[in-house]
Structure 1
Amino acid sequence: MVVIEQEPEPEEKESPSSSSAKNPRGSSRVPEESEDGGGRGGSDDDSFEDALTQDQLNERALNQANDAKADGNKLFGAGQYDDALLQYERALQIASEVPSSEEVRSMCHANRAVCFLKLGRYNDAITECTKALELKPSYVKALLRRGEAHEKLEHYEEAIGDMKKIIEIDSSNDQARRIIMRLEPLAAEKREKMKEEMIGKLKDMGNSVLGRFGMSVDNFKAVKDPNTGSYSISFQR
């Protein structure tokens, strides 16, 4: 996924106060002491930080987060998925303290999910997509990627559920419809397989109990009543 990021605004440094000002006696001016006993003098960086408003600090942090995300995108494009993960995590750490940063954080989580998909770490991909969706519930790409991870793990019902959520958001999404059509037979096959496995386990359990009495579940036959749909059990030797 290629994301074009806006370059951050160049930081402007506050011009340092003149250090050549003289007191009436001609000696260099000594910084006045503050109430806590410390001098008012400080580095230019400290003066710059103090001069910034909270909105400006938030904007600068958000620019730094976007830069880290852009670096992650470049690394992802180069196939360096582990390094890309680190950059997305760095962006998340920076943006976590910035109000109204849900957009960039949701994108970083979704991008981390793609990295995990490439690395075959499907459970981690699901976790990251879920975090992205907590920040942005209508994030279609995150739903698609979580559905893909569920499919890789043969969680067909969960994958279908994500595709249905996409259609609720965008009824014209043909990709989600095609995925549902492809996954429904796989989900039905898995349900049938699970049912057979469950019946087999129940038979084994029944035989372990009935075997003490010289019987097995094969001695019992279930007959369905076509009128009521209920079953009657008959014993056969």
Structure 2
Amino acid sequence: MAETNDKIIEDLTKDFETTSKKVITSKSEQEDQLEFEDALGPPSRKDSPNVSDESDSEDVAHNETLALSNEQIEERKREVLDVKEKGNEFFRNGNHDEACQQYSKALKLCPFSFKVERSILYNNRAAAKAKQGKTESALKDCTKAVDLNPVYIKALLRRAKLYEEVDQLDKALADYKELHKLEPNNVEVNSALAYLPRRIEEQTEKLKQEMFGKMKDLGNMFLKPFGLSTDNFQINKDPTTGSYSVNMNK
């Protein structure tokens, strides 16, 4: 009987691993498709030809500015600031979609050598996208802003808050820790550092319970033909290592 039970447990484990791999593969494919669709951006507007709220065409600006003289680059910078201000005006008036269009246009014009200006444009566009509920896309822009300027507090703070919105709490905590290094007396940052570890612990426990629930349902499905259920098994947690073991009730 012991050998039979061991065989049942072994088969159940293999089936669960196979099912899990299929779920993970399916999820990965869906994420790849969403990434592709997000990169396309919305159709260009008639009043803003060839400009979307994404950055697919920004490499064109890089190739163009390589041939510009210093005077031309400075002139381009002034043009960028004018376009950015138009975007700011749209943002202040609540027209966040048009603000995105203007910030994208400014990014296309902005020479790559102006890293600070580009980081500000990415952060501004992230703010406009966030207002439209485009959280994932806004996160990408925040990351671009931080990559260009790692001590950009506004971009780091915005990204931390957006990570919280999508329940990526570990990443949010990492950003708040970086912010604490830059502004150790920031009340908002210190507050987040106080409550986030508790939220992460609660989130982890919730995920564990959900996982065990799914494992129990799957286990019952496979054990039913043998006249067994997961109630015939006991799950024990090792208080030292935090690992789990499964024993059959006798």
Q: What is the TM-score of this pair, normalised by structure 2?
A: 0.66
Q: Does 1:62 align with 2:77?
A: yes
How many matched pairs? 183
Check conservation: 1:65, 1:91, Cα contact below 8 A.
yes
Q: Quick one: higher RCO (CA 8 Å, sep 6+), 1 or 2? A: 2
Q: Of residues 81, 95, 101 in structure 1, which corresponds to 2:96?
A: 81
Check conservation: 2:112, 2:118, Cα contact below 8 A.
no
Unaligned runs of 5+ in 2: 1-67
Computing the radius of gyration over CA atoms, which structure comes out larger, 1 or 2? 1
2:87 match = 72
- Structure with the higher fraction of residues in helix conformation: 2
Unaligned runs of 5+ in 1: 1-52
Q: Distance in 1 between matches of 2:241 and 2:105?
A: 63
How many angstroms does 1:209 deviate by? 2.2
Superposition pairs of residues 78-227 of structure 1, within 5 angstroms: 78-95=93-110, 98-223=111-236
* Cα 1:77/1:62, change in 2 over 3 Å: same
* Cα 1:102/1:225, change in 2 over 3 Å: closer
Check conservation: 2:83, 2:102, Cα contact below 8 A.
yes
2:38 match = none
Check conservation: 2:115, 2:148, Cα contact below 8 A.
yes
How many angstroms does 1:104 deviate by? 0.8
Across the aligned residues of Structure 1 and Structure 2, the Cα RMSD in angstroms comes to 2.4
Question: One-letter code of the match for 2:108?
Answer: Q
Q: Distance in 2 between matches of 1:117 and 1:208?
A: 43
Q: What is the TM-score of this pair, normalised by structure 1?
A: 0.69
Question: One-letter code of the match for 2:191?
Answer: R
* Cα 1:231/1:87, change in 2 over 3 Å: closer
* Cα 1:197/1:77, change in 2 over 3 Å: same
Q: Distance in 2 between matches of 1:154 and 1:228?
A: 26
* Cα 1:58/1:141, change in 2 over 3 Å: same
Question: One-letter code of the match for 1:110?
Answer: N
How many angstroms does 1:87 deviate by? 1.1
Identity %: 37
* Cα 1:233/1:75, change in 2 over 3 Å: closer
* Cα 1:204/1:117, change in 2 over 3 Å: same
Check conservation: 1:69, 1:87, Cα contact below 8 A.
yes
